[in-house]
Amino acid sequence: MTPPLSQSIINRPVLGLCRAALFHYYLTTPSGLSDEEASQRLQNFGKNQIEFHRRRSPLLMLLAEFTALFPLLLMAAALLSFFAQSISPDQGYKLIGFALLLVVLLNALVSFSQNYRVEQLMLSFLDYIPKEVALLREGEKILRDAKEVVPGDILFLQEGDKISADGVIISASQLLLDESILTGESEPVIKFAVQDKVEKTNLARSGATVLKGSAQMLVTRTGRATSLGSISELSQSVTSNLTPMQLELQDFVGKITWLALGIGLIFFMIGFIIGNSFWINLIFAIGIIVANVPEGLLPTVTLALTQASVRMSKHNAIIKHILSVETLGSTTVICTDKTGTLTHNKLHVEKLYLNLQEISVNHQNGLENNPAACTAFEIMALCNEVITLKEHKSSERFHGDPTEVAMALFTDRHGGFEAIRERFKIMQTRPFDAVSKYMSSTYQTGDNSFYLTVKGAPDVILERCSQLHCDRIVREIQDQDRLHIAKQAHYYANQGLRVLALAYRKTAQLESNAQQLVFAGLVAMVDPPRREVPAAVSACKSAGIRIIVISGDKGETVSYIARKLGIVTTPKVIDGEQLSAMDMEELMEELRGGEVVFARIAPEQKLSIVNALKEMNEVVAVTGDGVNDAPALKRADIGIAMGKRGTDVAKEASDIILLDDNFATIVKAIEEGRAIYDNIKKFITYILTSNIPEILPFIAYVLFPIPLPITVIQILAIDLITDILPAIGLGNEPPEADTMLRPPRRRDERLVSINTFIRSYAIIGPVEAAFSFMAFFMVLYGAGWEWGQTLTSSDPLYGQAAGAFLTTIIFSQIGNVMACRSNRQSAWPHLTQFNQWITLGVVAELLFIVTILYTPALHNIFSTAPIDISIWWIFIIAPITLFSIEEFRKWLVRRGVKWLAV
């Protein structure tokens, strides 16, 4: 009985194995496995599938929304409120407790709905591995689900297939593979059948695509053991740090918590000094603590980030995690892949060298009337094995080797690919091979002569040429001509272009000998940059963002593309071998040193570059579309995957998915992220301001014999009704004019700094409180109230005074929200810019306060009563005064008074 195939055999490398031992090694035969043996191996090694995205339980996703620091703070405040209610049932603390819990619940539902929608989108992406494949089992070709492929199977490969496992090529016919999603290298790879021993050119890997030819492959690894699977596992093992916004919100929650506890404790002690009992002091300490908690901030932050995500989706960017929007705004370095990200991942003809001179291909310039160009077009069209799909649009109807597709498209634009081929009759073709390094096709012409067309490596073709097509004539090629041509080919190659030489010979007899040729010219091709990328690069530079190109392609090509896009001017090229020899300090020194690009980089090396940049305190964004990008995408502060060309592994590891693969969308996202940061800072400043007129009444009530100027219900009305819509409006303010002209914010710049508290707690807040107390006492003294006189909550005078205090805060907040529409610049120009949320918020505030003041049914709930019109002047002057003070503060900031800057 044959022993079963062991896992240890699967894990061993196959390089160097002789062909004869290969089948014995994997316990199989050239006619394939039996179904019984395949079934047994399926049980032993598992299904041939890779878990790109681990499905998350909706319940766990929802529960996770309650574990962040801010929801925990609000829930703690709710518990304190319920405790205070049990001690003092008539203060309305139960209502504030339930309101806080409702805020946490609604916020969790909004955030969950956004994340669940993205989760469903991710699940819809998981279709990269082919569903069905052709296998050889017991000598018969059969179709099976790709998940059933096992080590030892023989897999049929043909043009267009996505390879579903790793293996060794045992037979092949002109096999050409695209491995760019694994290596980042755009150049297709020729593969050969194993002869004596297994070499790298005999190996095919899961995830690669067959561009041309056919083959049979002995499967050596499946599922997570494949190259694709191992990179997926690496990306899933990489840990992500908290986003800058998460860190900032944690910092803010910490500050506001300690501030609330500190103020509460101070006045708890003061209460003892002035003779109050323990329970009275505790109740008011809890009131101060709860009043300090900005209940409306959590839903406002969530809504602002969610709305930013919705806006980005209209620009074809899917935001997987809403905090990622702001993170991109704080980005200092973008590490970008070249192939498919900066470029189209599709070759095109970049240069033509005819008549011993370079000819522009960007404009037609009568190329069709140039004899040398016409000959070059003929060779490019005839010495070409692309497959034409006539039902497809012109840019997609050619399939095959990328260089041949590029030449077919080029000739199609200059005279027509099919029009050229219809003039000749194919007689014989000699396919390209890696040994001879050329391809030839022979055609019969209309006069029954024969036309041998050849293309190949410049040095090989030059050796086979005895004549030169130049200046409308064919003449003998001179040594000087050879020198010029070789020098030009070398120049193109050093620029990162893929160069082919074109030649021909016309004969009376059918011949296949590619000797004594006429040299026609050079054609140089490149995977071209996307048209929108240069403008995006320029915008990044203006915004102080550094771009580093990291590619699996060769150094010359990476450098050429980076220079052409304006990313660098004279870069130092560091390849994978050089990078392997560097330690972290040396790598960081190179990154600090100036312009660098990275070429021939392996996935784990890309991860090393990201780690080095993060060690340098950079906020790193990584773009990519291939499997090789996934670990770095996961480790980066922000990972950006391409939606069209991106693999499932890359999409899973990323934070943002660009559905249109448009690098320029990143610039829009950066601007949106910076605006979000500015706007969150604006509405935090706005919301914090009302804390002072909410806290001081409790302090005054403890210290002085006066009625409580504001009730718990009124505080809730401010925090959860009147302040919410204007705060959302500030969260939706458009980017300011200089948003993309200033450098990224510093790592040590805080979202909520001491200056923010100075502005809210020492300048604007006290002004609001002063006007509110002024209105409160004007009502009391105007009605004959005397110092120390007690008023019950049902007394109409108390309702008028408390209503005046509340009305003043609400009107002051109207001036505050208008002032907060800019951070440094004057807010006057913003007053003419329509913001529907702010406008709606102001109208809602006015309607709310008028309704609760003049609707008798609401008086007991909100402790209000109608206010005499003679008091209303103070409501009008309060926001104007507050706005003017803010304008003066900003004027001082613009003139260098930094301690006043928010």
Catalytic residue positions, numbered: 337
HSE toward the beta carbon, residue 20, CA cutoff 13 A: 1
Distance between CA atoms of residues 341 and 800, nearest Å:
65
State the amino acid at position 120 in one-letter form: Q
Contact 521, 477 (CB under 8 A): no
Contacts 24+ apart (CB under 8 A), 243-246: 243/321, 243/323, 243/324, 243/326, 243/327, 243/637, 243/638, 244/326, 244/327, 244/330, 244/619, 244/637, 245/323, 245/326, 245/327, 245/677, 245/680, 245/751, 246/323
In whole angstroms, how far apart are CA 110 and each of 113, 127, 227, 311, 671?
5, 29, 39, 16, 24
Contact 207, 224 (CB under 8 A): no
Q: How many CB atoms lie within 10 A of CB 683?
A: 27
Q: How many CB atoms lie within 10 A of CB 363?
A: 7
Distance between CA atoms of residues 489 and 483, nearest Å:
10
Q: What is the CA angle 819-821-827, rounded to 5?
A: 60
Q: At what angle do helices 724-731 and 836-854 cross, to 10 degrees?
A: 170
Distance between CA atoms of residues 198 and 204, nearest Å:
11
Distance between CA atoms of residues 657 and 316, nearest Å:
8
Distance between CA atoms of residues 527 and 168, nearest Å:
29
Contact 337, 629 (CB under 8 A): yes
Torsion of CA 813, 814, 817, 822, to 10 degrees: -130
Whose CA is closest to 729, among 799, 810, 581, 830?
A: 830
In whole angstroms, how far apart are CA 293 and each of 76, 170, 263, 407, 865?
10, 70, 12, 67, 27
Classified as helix, coil or strand, 900 is helix
Nearest 5°: phi and psi at 340?
80, -10
Contact 677, 326 (CB under 8 A): yes
Three-state SS for 482-541 is HHHHHHHHHHHHHCCCEEEEEEEEEECCCCCCCCCEEEEEEEEEECCECCCHHHHHHHHH
Nearby residues of 451 by Cβ (< 8 Å), 6 or more positions away = 378, 382, 424, 442, 443, 444, 445, 504, 506
State the amino acid at position 136 in one-letter form: L
Distance between CA atoms of residues 686 and 759, nearest Å:
10
DSSP 3-state percent helix, strand, coil across the chain (nearest 5) = 50, 15, 30
Distance between CA atoms of residues 387 and 427, nearest Å:
17
DSSP category for residue 424: S
Q: H helices within 220-322, ranges in order?
A: 227-237, 244-273, 278-292, 297-313
Whose CA is closest to 185, among 677, 664, 626?
A: 626
Distance between CA atoms of residues 118 and 214, nearest Å:
39
Nearby residues of 553 by Cβ (< 8 Å), 6 or more positions away = 184, 185, 186, 187, 338, 339, 496, 599, 600
Distance between CA atoms of residues 676 and 684, nearest Å:
12
The β-bridge relationship of strands 438-444 and 425-430 is antiparallel
